[in-house]
Amino acid sequence: MPKLKSKSGVGPASDFEALPDAEKERIYQELDRETPADRQARAKPLDARNRVRQRKFLRRGRPKHGKDGVKVISLSMEKHLLKRADAHAKKNGLKRAEFFSQAVRVALGKAS
């Protein structure tokens, strides 16, 4: 597999684009013939910098709330009460889940 070295400092893509069409076609055909096993055989372990980047990328997703994360629940409630709760949450800049979490904390604080 030919290695493209950046002469312009812009990167390998611009170096590839600068190649003659016949050379681009030759490289494309070579890549097209390569099997996944061939690619795997050429692969090298990630260096420390790229391991950090990979971990950061793989960590994406919903953030955890609380120390143990969250549990999605289904809750039945009277319609008029839900409308009032939603209005109160909106007025205070809260999401519905945040409002109910706060309400449960207050209720449990009073109960104990």
Taking only the tens place, the pLDDT of each residue in 52-95 is 988 888 877 766 777 777 888 999 999 999 999 999 999 999 99
User: pTM for the whole thing?
Assistant: 0.44
Using CA atoms, how far apart are residues 12 and 60, in angstroms rounded to an integer? 28
Residue spans per domain, the chain: 12-58, 63-112
- Name the DSSP letter for residue 42: H
Residue 49 corresponds to which tokens in the numbers above?
């910098």
- pLDDT tens, residue by residue, 8-63: 556 678 888 889 999 999 998 988 998 988 888 888 899 999 999 888 888 777 66
Using CA atoms, how far apart are residues 17 and 19, in angstroms rounded to an integer? 6
